Amino acid sequence: MSVTRRGTLRLGAVAALGGLTSCRRTGVLHGADIAGFSPALRLDMARAPDGAGVTEATFRGRPALLCFGYTSCPDLCPLTLSNIARGLAASAKGGHDMRVLFVTVDPRRDTLPILGHYTALFGPQFVGLRGTPAQLARLAQRYKVAYAASDATVTHSTAVYLFDAHGRARELFSGLDRAQADIAGFAADLDRLRA
């Protein structure tokens, strides 16, 4: 199945994590509990717009959300980031202590200035990250994220990972790319993590 650059293929979480969602979901959490099943936050990228090198240590001490996308996505990426911003605003702490790490799956077209401008539109907690093709491939493989970018097509998974302040994977959210996303539930999970 292919889509044009103007569209995004919703791949969601990988089948293994999709199964995890159904068997590990509880009445308490609104996302899938992935504690102990998904690896800790680890990355090596350039931060937009200044190009500074960042690793997981850069974000240690703050909870973080990790998602993948591209700046010219017409629908799912801006909707996901808008819903994240709404969830942060609805959380008890206002999300000021959180970082949202938005990794471009189209580094050839998403330059650091473009990526920096794009993420700034959603709030100061949003950080654009850009890697080399090899860095992106390693990060995507680590979190089982499917993506592809060619001249006419960009596809990617839409799941959002939540990591605690120590970088441990805690939850996987798969519905933040929808207009009817459960913002209150998402905000409640963010608050629960920081309680």
Can you tell me the distance from the alpha carbon of 77 to that of 11, in angstroms, rounded to the nearest whole number?
13
Residue 133 pLDDT > 50: yes
Mean predicted confidence (pLDDT) in 143-147: 93
Residue 126 has which token pair?
């949003």
The bridge status of strand 32-33 relative to strand 44-47 is unpaired
Going by pLDDT thresholds of 50, 70 and 90, the confidence category of residue 3 is very low
* The predicted structure's pLDDT at residue 185: 94
At residue 28, the pLDDT reads 59
**Using an 8 Å Cβ cutoff, are 122 and 84 in contact?**
yes
Per-residue pLDDT tens digits for 13-48: 333 333 333 333 344 578 999 999 999 999 999 999
Of 8-17, 63-72, 146-155, 165-174, which gets the smallest average pLDDT? Answer: 8-17
pLDDT band at 7 (very low <50, low <70, confident <90, very high): very low
User: For residue 147, is pLDDT > 50?
Assistant: yes
Q: How far apart are CA 120 and CA 43, in angstroms?
A: 21
pLDDT tens for each residue of 52-105: 999 999 999 999 999 999 999 999 999 999 999 999 999 988 888 999 999 999
pLDDT, tens digit (0-9, with 9 covering 90-100), for 105-125: 999 999 999 999 999 999 999
Tokens of 29: 């959490």
pTM of the predicted model as reported, rounded to 2 decimal places: 0.85
Domains identified in the chain and CATH numbers: 15-193 (3.40.30.10)
Evaluate whether 64 touches 54 at the Cβ level (below 8 Å): no
**Is the pLDDT confidence value at 8 over 60?**
no
- The mean per-residue pLDDT over the stretch 132-159 comes to 92
Confidence of residue 132 (pLDDT cuts 50, 70, 90): very high
The CA-based angle 126-159-183, given to 5 degrees, is 70
- In sequence order, the β-bridge partners of residue 160 are 173
